[in-house]
Structure 1
Amino acid sequence: MTLVADSSIEHFGFFLVPGFSMISLAAVVDPLRMANRISDKELYTWDFYCHHDETITASNGLPFSPSRKQNDIRDLDTLFVVAGIDAHQANDASLLSWLRSLKQQKINLGSTSTGSLLLAKAGILKNQRCTIHWENQDSLSEQFPDLQVTGELYEIDRDVMTCSGGLAGLDLMLQLISLKHGESLAKDVAEQCIHPAIRPAYDKQRMDLQLRHHAHHPRLLKALELMRSNIEEVLTCQEIGDLVGLSVRQMERLFKSFLSTTPANHYLQLRLERAHHLVLQSNLSMMQISTACGFSSTSYFSRCYRKQYHCSPREERLSTHT
Structure 2
Amino acid sequence: MAISVFDVFKIGVGPSSSRQGEQLTESERPQPPMLRIGFWLREAFDMYTLANALEPLRLANQLAGYDVCQWQMLSLEGQQLNASNGIATATTRLDQAQTFDVLILCGGDNLQLDPDLRQQLSHWAAQPISLGALGEAGWLLAQVGALEGVRCSLPEPGAALEFAAFSKLTPVAAPFCVDRQRLTCVGPQAVQGLMHELLARFHGRGLILRMEKHAARQARPLLPVRDVPKQLQATLTLMNEHLSPMLGIDELAETMGISRRHLERLFKRSLGCTPSRHYLDLRLQQARQMLRAAELSLSDVATECGFVSLQHFFRCYRQYFGAHPREHMGAKANSQRGSTLNAPVSSRAGRILAPSLPH
| TM-score bracket for this pair, using the shorter chain length | 0.5 to 0.7
Matched, 1:79 2:100: no
Counterpart of 1:100 (choices 122, 125, 130) is: 122
Counterpart of 1:150 (choices 167, 172, 176) is: 172
Deviation at 1:71, TM superposition (A): 0.6
Question: How does the TM-score come out when normalised to structure 1?
Answer: 0.55
Cα deviation, 1:178-223, whole Å, max 9, x if unaligned, reads: 22222221122234445875999xxxxxxxxx99xxxxxxxxxxxx
Between the aligned partners of 2:157 and 2:193, the Cα distance in structure 1 is: 19
- 3-state SS of 2:93 partner: coil
The equivalent of 1:227 in structure 2 is none
The equivalent of 1:115 in structure 2 is 137
Q: Is the 8 A contact 1:132 1:163 kept in 2?
A: yes
The equivalent of 2:255 in structure 1 is none
Counterpart of 1:34 (choices 33, 39, 59) is: 59
Between the aligned partners of 1:168 and 1:186, the Cα distance in structure 2 is: 16
Deviation at 1:145, TM superposition (A): 2.2
Between the aligned partners of 1:137 and 1:128, the Cα distance in structure 2 is: 24
After superposition, residues 255-266 of structure 1 pair within 5 angstroms as: none
Counterpart of 1:166 (choices 183, 188, 195) is: 188
Larger Rg: 2
Matched, 1:23 2:28: no
Deviation at 1:4, TM superposition (A): 3.7
Q: Could you list the runs of 5+ residues in structure 2 that have no partner in the other structure? A: 9-31, 220-284, 293-317, 320-359
Question: How does the TM-score come out when normalised to structure 2?
Answer: 0.50
Deviation at 1:137, TM superposition (A): 10
Counterpart of 1:70 (choices 94, 108, 114) is: 94
Between the aligned partners of 2:204 and 2:174, the Cα distance in structure 1 is: 23
The equivalent of 1:179 in structure 2 is 201
Alpha-carbon spacing, 1:120–1:105, altered in 2? closer, same or farther (3 Å): same
Cα deviation, 1:60-93, whole Å, max 9, x if unaligned, reads: 1211220x21112442110001123x2313x122
The equivalent of 2:73 in structure 1 is 48
After superposition, residues 119-138 of structure 1 pair within 5 angstroms as: 119-134=141-156, 136=158
- 3-state SS of 1:115 partner: helix
Alpha-carbon spacing, 1:193–1:121, altered in 2? closer, same or farther (3 Å): farther
Alpha-carbon spacing, 1:137–1:183, altered in 2? closer, same or farther (3 Å): farther
Alpha-carbon spacing, 1:171–1:88, altered in 2? closer, same or farther (3 Å): same
Higher relative contact order (CA 8 A, sep 6+): 2
Q: Is the 8 A contact 2:132 2:182 kept in 1?
A: yes
Deviation at 1:8, TM superposition (A): 1.5
Counterpart of 1:57 (choices 76, 79, 82) is: 82
Q: Is the 8 A contact 2:79 2:93 kept in 1?
A: no
Alpha-carbon spacing, 1:139–1:184, altered in 2? closer, same or farther (3 Å): same
Between the aligned partners of 1:135 and 1:169, the Cα distance in structure 2 is: 18
Between the aligned partners of 1:3 and 1:170, the Cα distance in structure 2 is: 24
Between the aligned partners of 2:196 and 2:159, the Cα distance in structure 1 is: 24
Calculate the aligned-residue CA RMSD, in Å.
2.9
Q: Is the 8 A contact 2:35 2:70 kept in 1?
A: yes
Deviation at 1:110, TM superposition (A): 0.6
Alpha-carbon spacing, 1:128–1:141, altered in 2? closer, same or farther (3 Å): farther
Alpha-carbon spacing, 1:141–1:4, altered in 2? closer, same or farther (3 Å): farther
The equivalent of 2:34 in structure 1 is 9
Report the residue type matching 1:33 in the other structure. Answer: R
Between the aligned partners of 2:213 and 2:104, the Cα distance in structure 1 is: 24
Between the aligned partners of 2:159 and 2:151, the Cα distance in structure 1 is: 13
Deviation at 1:135, TM superposition (A): 5.9
Q: Is the 8 A contact 2:153 2:177 kept in 1?
A: yes
Between the aligned partners of 2:133 and 2:61, the Cα distance in structure 1 is: 22
Between the aligned partners of 2:62 and 2:166, the Cα distance in structure 1 is: 41
Alpha-carbon spacing, 1:95–1:135, altered in 2? closer, same or farther (3 Å): closer
Between the aligned partners of 1:17 and 1:142, the Cα distance in structure 2 is: 26
Q: Could you list the runs of 5+ residues in structure 1 that have no partner in the other structure? A: 201-209, 212-322
Alpha-carbon spacing, 1:152–1:136, altered in 2? closer, same or farther (3 Å): farther
Alpha-carbon spacing, 1:145–1:76, altered in 2? closer, same or farther (3 Å): same
- 3-state SS of 2:147 partner: coil
- 3-state SS of 2:44 partner: coil
User: How many residues align structurally?
Assistant: 198
Between the aligned partners of 1:149 and 1:140, the Cα distance in structure 2 is: 15
Give identity over the alignment, percent.
Answer: 26
Q: Is the 8 A contact 1:87 1:117 kept in 2?
A: no
- 3-state SS of 1:88 partner: coil
